[in-house]
Amino acid sequence: MAHIPSKPAGVRQTRLGRALAASLTAFTLLIQINGIALAQLPDARVLFEQGRAAYAAGRYAEARDAWVQAYEASGHADLLYNVAQAYRGLGQPVRELDYLERFVAAVPITHESRALAQSRVEALQARIADTHIVLREVPADADVLLDGAVVAGRGTERTLDVSPGAHQVLVARDGYLPFQASVDAPAGRTTEVTVRLAERPTVRAHHADTVTRGAWVAGGVLLVAGAVSGGVAYGRAGGTVRGTARAERLQRVGYAADAMMGVGVLMGVVGLVRYLRSDGDVPSDAPAVSVGVGREAISLQVRGAF
């Protein structure tokens, strides 16, 4: 059984009639062979007939399923040829080739359809081998991945040898967002894809320079020193009589502690103001803190050495 592609009516009508008649002759012969072979297998026979009716009606997927089941029930090799024709009707050359190769391997060299199948196998192999995806305008230093695997080679134009069907292409380059494309590669054709890479947005984050870090460190030291001094003065003030030299000395220590803590807070505020006003392109070696707010989480990223 062979698939006859549709042709426009008119001057080709006679040629189409002759081709269809020749095809039906081969089809009838194949049915007779299957009829004899399947006589002892009624289930396989029913499946074969269902597949034949579905194929004649253009329901190729239904025909394929019926003939695959008939083959599994009977093991008759001629059904492999029929399944291949169903895949041809579905426009799936890789699967058609698979079943034709199985048919050729299963039948004797004297089988009347083997030569035709072998010829079709060779044509399909050449057609499938001539299937490519060409990527244009690829940066020379970019990496190309095809279906998750890195493709070797460099250049602004990359030719990828592929099997017919859907493929995933990814082009990655430092400093740029990755380019991704889903490409459907028809058998025997070259599909061109123009790569367009967009620059990755510059990370803008606050960063602490030397002055800012110094203000924070100094402010922290003063806060700690003031807190400790104030705590010591407060602890020793218990039982001290007002107006005595000891009371006045402890009072001065308390004032100094308050002043240190106030200056410490002020230094911290100065550092914070400088930090908040530092937003811009972050040097690669500068300490930086960036905050990201999402719908479900808040992220904090710290980089560099403080």
Written as one string, the DSSP assignment of 212-258 is HHHHHHHHHHHHHHHHHHHHHHHHHTTTPPTTSHHHHHHHHHHHHHH
Whether residue 181 is contained in a domain is answered as: yes
Residues 22 and 121 in one domain: yes
Whether residue 199 is contained in a domain is answered as: no
CA dist list (Å): 24 to 18, 19, 31: 10, 9, 10
Residue 102 has pLDDT above 50, yes or no: yes
Whether residue 3 is contained in a domain is answered as: no
98: how many CB neighbours lie within 10 A of its CB? Answer: 16
Residue 284 has pLDDT above 60, yes or no: no
Whether residue 4 is contained in a domain is answered as: no
Q: What residues contact residue 85 under an 8 Å CB cut-off, 6+ apart?
A: 1, 2, 3, 55, 96
Question: What is the average per-residue pLDDT within 120-128?
Answer: 94
Residues 240 and 299 in one domain: yes
Whether residue 5 is contained in a domain is answered as: no
Contact 274, 209 (CB under 8 A): yes
β-bridge partners, 289: 206, 302
Q: Quick one: pLDDT at residue 39?
A: 53
Residues 269 and 294 in one domain: yes
Residues 184 and 223 in one domain: no
Q: What residues contact residue 30 under an 8 Å CB cut-off, 6+ apart?
A: 1, 78, 81, 82, 113
Rounded distance between C-alpha atoms, residue 255 and residue 233, angstroms: 10
Question: What is the average per-residue pLDDT within 285-306?
Answer: 46
- State the pLDDT confidence band at 38, using cuts at 50, 70 and 90: low
Question: What is the average per-residue pLDDT within 128-145?
Answer: 91
What is the number of domains present in the chain?
A: 3
Whether residue 1 is contained in a domain is answered as: no
Whether residue 157 is contained in a domain is answered as: yes
- State the pLDDT confidence band at 262, using cuts at 50, 70 and 90: confident
Q: What tens digit of pLDDT does each residue of 183-242 get?
A: 998 988 999 999 998 988 866 666 667 777 777 787 777 778 767 776 776 666 666 657
- State the pLDDT confidence band at 132, using cuts at 50, 70 and 90: very high
Sheet strands (E) in the chain: 132-136, 143-146, 149-151, 158-161, 165-172, 179-185, 190-194, 204-207, 280-281, 288-293, 298-303
Q: Quick one: pLDDT at residue 155?
A: 83
Residues 123 and 136 in one domain: no
Residues 117 and 67 in one domain: yes
Whether residue 159 is contained in a domain is answered as: yes
60: how many CB neighbours lie within 10 A of its CB? Answer: 20
- Comparing CA positions, the residue from 91, 93, 67, 94 lying closest to residue 81 is 67
CATH number at residue 80: 1.25.40.10
Residue 123 has pLDDT above 90, yes or no: yes
Q: Quick one: pLDDT at residue 83?
A: 95
Residue 18 has pLDDT above 70, yes or no: no
Q: Quick one: pLDDT at residue 267?
A: 73
Residue 276 has pLDDT above 80, yes or no: no
Average pLDDT over all residues of the chain: 76
Instruction: Write the DSSP symbol of residue 177.
Output: P
Q: What tens digit of pLDDT does each residue of 59-85 get?
A: 999 999 999 999 998 888 999 999 999
Which of 99, 127, 155 is the last residue before a domain boundary? 127
CA dist list (Å): 150 to 130, 140, 146, 155, 302: 21, 15, 6, 14, 32
Residues 119 and 136 in one domain: no
In which domain, by residue range, is 251 found? 204-303
Contact 284, 221 (CB under 8 A): no
